[in-house]
Every structure is written in C-alpha cells, then in structure tokens.
Structure 1
Amino acid sequence: MKSLSTRRRNLLLRGAALGAAAALLPAPVGDATGGQPRRTQVSGIKATMVPPAIVSLADYGGLPGARTAALVGAFRQALDDLAVQGGGTLLVPRGVYDFGRCTDAATFVLCRNARDIAISAYGALFTVTTDANVMPNLFYFFNFQNITIAGASFADTGFDPRPDWRGMVCVGIQADRPSHGFTLVDCYAERVVSLLSSHNNAATRRLLSNIRVHGEVRYAYYGVNASFIRENADIDLVCHDVRRAVIASALRNADIRVTVSSTAQWPGSNGLIALICGGASVGNVKNVRIALEASGEGNYGSHVHLYHQGAEPDGTIRNIDATVHVANAAPATTLFLFDHEARFVKATTSRVWDRIALHGTIAGDFDGHVVANPSASITPGTVCLDRHLAQYAHSGHMPLVVQ
C-alpha cells in the first residue's frame, strides 16, 4: 500500500506535470470583485452588533495608492481609536490597497485584544505580491471578541499553489485566552493560501469559538483552515480551483457548506474537505455537518476525508453527517475516504469512526469508490450509507448500514 505522503506527492505531480503550469494560473484581479460575479450579500455589516462610533480609514491616510507603511499605520491608528471608544465600525473606501512585495512571513496589520469592531470594506481590494516561499498574514487578530470583516476582497499576485507554494493568508486568528465571535461575510479571495486560517494548536484548542466565514475563494490552496476551534464554526463557501476547500483538526459543533467547481489543471490534495483527528489527547472530531456540491475533474484523492493522524492509539471521529452531490467529476474519484496515517497509512487501526451518516448523488460517469477505507478499524462504529449511493460500487473493509 502506498504511504499517504506518496499519495500526496502523486497528486501534486499530477498538477505540476502539466508543463508550464505558471502560465495556466489566472491573471491578477483587476477590480474589487475579481472579475467574477459575487454572491448576494447575506447580512453584511448590518447584522453586526457594535457601538455606534464610525471612523474612516481615509481620515488616517489609508487611501488607495498609499505606500505600505502608510496603510499599516492607518489601520493601526483607526483600530486603536475605535478601541478607545469601546468599539465601532471602520469604513474602508472603495479602491485598491497594495501592500507591496513580501519575502518573509510578515504580518501586516496585527490587532491584539480587539472587541466589538466591524470593518466594512465593500469595494476594497487588498493586494500583496509574495516573492518567496512564505505565508504572510495581511490581517492577524490575536485575542478578540465580536469582530466582523465584511465585503473585503484579497489577491496575491505572487501566489504559487504547487509543491513549494507561497502566498498570503488573508486573515489569521489566534488566541491564548478565550476568544469568540469572529465573522468574515461577503468576502472574496483569489490566488491566496487561505481566506481564513486559525493559528491555534492542540494546546490552545479550547480557546477559539463562534467562527463564521461566508465568501468566495478562487485559485487558492485553502478556502478555510479551521483547525483547533473549540466549537461553533459555520463555513459557507463558493470555490473554484482550490486544493482544499476546508481543513480542520479537532473540529467540534460545526456546519460546513461548500459549492466547488474544479479543473484537472489545478493541483489537488488528498481531500477537498478534511476533518482531522490527531489523537484523543490532541482533540477528537465530533458533531460536524457537511453539505458539498462539487463539479469538475479536480485532482482530489477524496471529496470528504475523515482522517486520523499520529501514533496515539485512541481517537474518535463521531457524529458526522456528510452529503456530497457530485456532477461530471473525474470518473475514478472517491467520495468518502477513511484512513489513519502514522508515518504511513495503517492497514488496521484502533481509532474509531462512529455515527457517520453519508448521503449524496452522482451525476455523470463514475467508476470510483463511494467509500474507501484503507485503514480497517478493529473497534468499528456505525457508518450509514444512503440508498442513492449504495447502488454505486464501493470498496473497503468498513461495515456499512444501508438506509
């Protein structure tokens, strides 16, 4: 059996072997919508509950065309002033805000201990050009309460999604004390590493909660990295040519809705949506609902990957309800992949998948696997497969209850 690292490498090479792949990447965006139709605004800035104070970035020298230092300074001063007033709304006028070239893992706008602040950036496009194999963060919120960013667009003209990938993380979040209430709504990102990334780890997994992301991501590595969020993540994405729409370690109490289209030219991954358990001590996965609509021949090892990692014998992925509707996908695709990697994919595992409900439909040619589990659990739980999918071929050692 091939190791997972080998499988990943093969997936990467499928994208890299297409010749001059860089020439296939889209041109930089030319306006704040990325030249693509935006989805209807959900509730935008109007749904935020913040104090009435309002400031404009322009009043602090934050204007389209300003230099990086001026933009960074304007954000810092505006956010500091709102903090003094107990919170409020920061208005970012329409236009392109270019933060210049980046050759290190910089954080441009760092905001600590912010609370009750909304940033309204409809019509604003934030750009960076990453010139090295690094991941700068444009916005970084460390410890927060009730933060909203609405209507912002992001693009990195130096982004590269291939094995030595590089590019901007649009918004990073992290906490070393309880932090809750972070929302991205009506946001758009193109040619980036991720729209939102949690930078917490196993030791701080109980500190972040109530994270909501609504937006569109195109030509990217991740849509959202929601790892080590204690509870209550709500993710609603439209994606085109992303390597992973959502990845999350130790996720609990989450709702994930993704509509994705893909081409065979874009590099893939071992899972379009990946829920990861690194072991019981790192954090189990439970109570997650997934609704995925996927079309196109993307290079994915699976559409939903329920993925145990590490050598620890204990760990559970439990109470997962996953629905996948696939149309015109690569014929040999896998819808649901269950495995356990500890340096390589294990043939057997004591880890548990339990109370898993799998639903969906398939349109177009299909000769792949509905369910694949190269790692057979010696303590199996209940995995239910609906009748719409049971008619298709599936393989593996996992006992399935057809409903």
Structure 2
Amino acid sequence: MIKVAIMGHGTVGSGVYEVFDMNADKIAKTVGEPVEVKYVLDLRDFSSLPYGNKFVTDFSVIENDPEVTVVAEVMGGVGAAYQFTKRCLEAGKSVCTSNKELVATKGEELLKIAEEHGVNYMFEASVGGGIPVIRPMLQCLAANEFNEICGILNGTTNYILTQMIHNGVTFADALKQAQLNGYAEKDPTADIEGHDACRKICILSDLAYGDKFDPDQVSCEGITKITLEDVANADKLGCVIKLLGRSVRCEDGTAYAYVAPHLIHKESPLAAVEDVFNAIMIDGNATGEVMFYGKGAGKLATASAVVADMLDSIEHKDNRRRIFWGDGSKNLLRPLDTLQSAWYVRFKGAQKDVEELLPVESLTEPAEGVFVVQTRKLSTAEMNAAAEKLKACGEVRAAMRIL
C-alpha cells in the first residue's frame, strides 16, 4: 500500500481526493498496488465528511511520516505552500502541484532541492489545468528547439471576451456573469489583468528555453480596456480579440515574452477557442505547430493532472524526472522594443496625423471623428513613439497587436 497526502482542501484539493477515491482500482493497476490518501492538511473543520478522520492541521505530521512518499500541494500562494513544499522535498517526499504562482516564482529553487534529494517536483496542472502540455513538451517534443509558444491561457478572460463577441455584453456585465457562474473569483484581478496568464507563459518559457523568466519582469496587459467598439472593429477586420500569452525565440537565444490582448484572424485555430476553454500552440523546429486544447481549469480536470503527476512520481521513485531551468542569470528575456507586429489603432483626431505618423495598411472612414487603423508591421518602440505623438494631437483609444 502506497501512502500519499494532500495539502489543501479547496476546489482542487477536494478534487484530488475525489479522483483517488472514484478511480482507486484504475490507479492501483497503473502503479501496481493500491494508493491511500493518508492525510489531508487544512485548518478548517471537515469532520463531517466521510473521510473527516484523515484531516490534520499540523504540517509536521505529514513531514515526519516516513510512510508518506508523495504529496499534492494544492494550497496556492507562495507563503506556507513554499515552506511546506520545500520541507517535503528535503524530507525525501515528491511534491506535485497546480500552484502556478509558486512554480513561476520559486520553481528553479524547488527543482534543485528535489534533485538534491532524489525526488520529483512536478507541476503539469500549473499551466493547462487538465490539458496535458508540460509532459508532451518534455517527452514527445523533446527533440525540438522551440521557436514560439502562443496561447489562450486563462479561461476566465476567454469567457468574458466570448460573451462580448457573441452576445454584445459589456466587459463589466460579462465579468459579473463569469463570477455568477463560478468562472471568476470575487477578486478577479489575477485573471482580468493578465497575471495568471503571465505566470503560465513564464513557466512554459522556463521549460522551452532553459532559464527563468520572472513574471515581475514580463510585460503584462489584461483585458479591462477592451470595449464593444473594439470587438466590432475587430470583426470588420476579419478578426476576434483574444488575450494571449506569447513567447518568441530569437536567433541569439534570447526570447520575447509577454501577455496582451491581440486581434487574431478568424482563420487561426485560436480564434475558434471560446468560453472557458484554453489552447496552447507550440512551434517546434522539427514538428512545426502543434496545439493543445481543452478546459484549462475546473475541479476534476485540474485534479486529474495533479494525480497523474503523483502516479508518475510513484512509478519513477527510483528514477526521477529530469526537469530543470536556470536562475535567470542568462538574462534571456528580450525587451519588447524590437518585436515587430501589425497593429490595430483606434484614434480620435485628424486623418492627416494618422497618415503622417503610422504606416497605414488600411484606414476606415471616420465615425464621429474616430478612425480605425490597421498598420503595416512596425516595432513596439516605433508604435509607442507614434502613439505618444498621436496623443499630442488627438486621442489614442486603443492599440493592440494583430497576429
């Protein structure tokens, strides 16, 4: 009998227990013997649950029990979750997590500790929830150099944009709907300001390029400024608006990485990804583009990925998975100044100012003095400089990249 523990009994934590319970026979066949959840760590009272006797409030009970070999960390945050994860690894226990914030900020340190103690630190659920993407990157695509990663990495923002695009719902009302449906937290900042997607693109970039991409240094823009007018304008250009996390490798080994709303052409596979679904496109130099699609969150979908990592750790207890990246000292993150893009610009002012300051690809007839501009490709620095000049002679109401 293999003994495991779960740290945290929120949405994902309760899901992890449920997966172990409902799929016990399948799990036993997979690893060769039954697996028992011996402890669940949480400060709240869950004594009324059928498995209420398994709850503990003292982390050291898990830390000091030699029978527990694999632990699920589904607490969230970088406080207690970081300390408990570190101590579990140092105690010779593998840890599997869905905690994207912890992986993005402390992953390289925790992976090093895991290596030193001959155990695993695994985090498939931290990027795509139930969508397998990390393991395919490390195994199926291992022979590739990665040229680009681009994806819809947050289900909440994708749901909001879908409501705006198809139902004409304002951002504020779409956010309220997302909260009522349980897709958005009471405080939705991490989602709507792009922080959640930023942590995920950093983890994917860490894995793809071998060094740390710090979320605090990666450009991050959310969807709060997008209006129904922008949605309608995008449609006229044959596009839809999506919040994308993107990293692009350059010839010198550095990479751009950022999160921002984009206009993407309706022919793109990403354009058809709607509601709470996520999709991640990875361009390998041997495979070309491959796409991973599914629900990026949800109780059982995310729990499934956590449990899969736990089973992998059990099966590879004597042959740990080689996952690692550097501490950021290679300085691979490239400033966005030189990244070339076509741009969508919504500007209120005189046509001559637009034509003088931007390389115009297309320009609509003004509606109440507002022009919609599609530019030819220009760098971020050039776009920013032009926007500043436009602001001096009018009003720049929106500027987004076009892919």
TM-score class, shorter-chain normalisation, is under 0.3
Max Rg structure? 2
Higher RCO (C-alpha under 8 Å, 6+ residues apart)? 2
TM-score (ref. length: structure 2) = 0.27
TM-score (ref. length: structure 1) = 0.27
Larger strand fraction of residues: 1
